[in-house]
Amino acid sequence: MNYNLKNFWLSFDGEPEIYFEEGASLSFKDLARIADASFVINRFNPDVVGILESAGLAELIFLNERFLGNRYRCFSFRATDSRTAGIPLGFLVRKDWKVESMELLEPRTFSSRGVLKARISRGDDEITFFLVHFKSQVEDNAGDSARKRDAQGRRLLELVREELSQNPDAELVIFGDFNDVPGLSKQEKAAGVPDLIELLQRDFEVNGTKTRLYNVTLLHPDRDTSGKLWSEKSTDYPPALLDYFLLSQKTYSRFKRVDHIYPEEFSYVLEASDHLPCILDLK
């Protein structure tokens, strides 16, 4: 599951309207958000959850222990970008999976919020996850954000190429918040860069063999009850096409479906974030 919780900073001490829960304290507003997010996670019980914009490890541990039955291991890393002290990336991994390694790549590059790489296994299964959070669309000058996202996208492809050069059959899942929708945007035109989503789907060579990443969010779209995959921000729901799953060729052979959790299915999702949580199912 990919879940951008958006500014999931909890108030543990010294705030008004405090609710006490086994030694921890938080506001009633925080309690409502954490309950809504955990409702969705508990409903689908994913093996791995990529968490974006959750303030840190304390928040994830609290979420896991108080609301998720303590069935996950929690990981959180704070990257440095040009605008903030860091927007965290994290993982929740079910305890029946083994975490072989977890590493924050490129944490101090000005154009990147970091890429979190995790190698996770269970039995004969081993999957390498790349969790990303690309630059937001907020910009001071036309094209600034698009140039940074373009640099992040190209660096991500280099990391994928390096991984596949060592093991062409590696099972890779690349996911997170890409802050971009398909098609050349005004920002990308101003920056003179290609469409980011198209860039990430281009063929490339590894050890002389052509391969690609499969954007299953677009190849196998999950439509809402009105027959649409996404809409502009509205009273109904925000864009679904900011958060993607891209798979290596070996992983794509195991693909089953992508499921966006739309508000008409569970109204709670918009209370926890303006991003739709989405789920990848593999055989």
> Distance between CA 276 and CA 217 in Å, rounded?
13
**Cross-sheet strand order for the sheet of 278-282:** 72-77, 89-94, 48-54, 2-8, 278-282, 255-260
> Distance between CA 169 and CA 249 in Å, rounded?
8
Q: CA quadruple 55, 133, 168, 154: dihedral positive or negative?
A: negative
From first to last of its 283 residues, what are the pLDDT tens digits of the chain? 999 988 887 766 555 455 555 545 677 778 888 889 999 999 999 999 999 988 788 889 989 998 999 999 999 987 665 555 567 899 999 999 999 999 998 776 656 678 999 999 999 999 999 999 998 888 878 899 999 999 999 999 999 999 999 999 999 999 999 999 899 999 999 999 999 999 999 999 999 999 999 999 999 999 888 888 776 666 666 667 889 999 999 999 999 999 999 888 888 888 888 889 999 999 9
Q: Which residue has the tokens 């052979």?
A: 253
26 CB contacts (<8 Å, ≥6 apart)? 10, 11, 12, 15, 18, 19, 34
pTM summary value: 0.92
